[in-house]
Structure 1
Amino acid sequence: MHVYDTVTAALADLDTRGYQLDFNLTPDALECKEIELRLMPEEFEIDEVYRFEGMTDPADSAVVYAISSNVGNLKGVLVDAYGVYAENVSPDLLDKLKIHH
């Protein structure tokens, strides 16, 4: 497992390791707009998780997920603030994220 000081450093290194797509949360899936793809919880794995605490503001806390999928052999990242997704996503997607949170 790698150690990073900032979200930017984590994203830069993950990019060099092939995690090049940007995923966003939708209510029931991960979405990658650049390739018009939606991944349901059973279609992806969370390979690595990095947590960042806001030094002066807890609202600056974030989680970086390194995600891979056998659907198209894809790799990408999801950046999310702590707890923001909790009430906005399906139980299946929430369970998948919480396992690694």
Structure 2
Amino acid sequence: MKQQFHYATITEAITQLHKQGYTLDFDLKKDKLTADGKDYPADDFEIADLYRYEGASDPADEATVYALVSKSGLKGLLVSGYGVSSDSASEETLKQLHYKYQESKA
């Protein structure tokens, strides 16, 4: 899927992606995604699209919005800040999602 839009702000991206059916709001914990009290294996998901935002003067303002889709059709968002590392397992899981995304673009 080719990125078709660029949203001016993170808030605009989230609002518009929610309208497109990305209604789950995911957190990444080790090798799983969590939303609404449920756990989902991260390897069941692929990145459908992503949007990167960089703060003009403050690196703490940098973030990525990931639009994720599961093999079974679940759609949701994961918002991740740069430089904020919760643990190495979560970082590795995010790298694997990126790898699958890059492979699908090749």
- TMscore range, shorter length: 0.7 to 0.9
User: Identity percentage over the alignment?
Assistant: 41
Q: Which residue of structure 1 lines up, in the alignment, with residue 63 of structure 2?
A: 62
User: Unmatched 5+ residue regions in structure 2?
Assistant: none
Match of 1:5 in 2: 8
Mark the CA change 1:44 to 1:57 in structure 2 (over 3 Å): closer, same or farther: same
Which residue in 2 is equivalent to 1:49?
50
- Superposed CA RMSD in Å reads 2.2
Structure 1 residue ranges, 4+ long, deviating more than 3 angstroms after superposition: 85-88
* Residues 43, 97 of structure 2: 8 Å contact kept: no
- Shift of the 30–85 alpha-carbon distance from structure 1 to 2, 3 Å rule, reads farther
- Contact 1:7–1:52 (8 Å) recurs in 2: yes
Structure 1 gap segments, 5+ residues each: none
CA distance in 1, matches of 2:59, 2:48: 25
In the aligned structure 2, how far is the partner of 1:90 from the partner of 1:59? 19
- Is 1:30 the counterpart of 2:48? The answer is no
Displacement of 1:77 in angstroms is: 0.1
Inter-partner Cα distance in structure 1 for 2:71 and 2:48: 13
Distance 1:82 1:97, change over 3 A: farther
Task: Measure, in 2, the Cα distance between the counterparts of 1:94 and 1:67.
Answer: 12
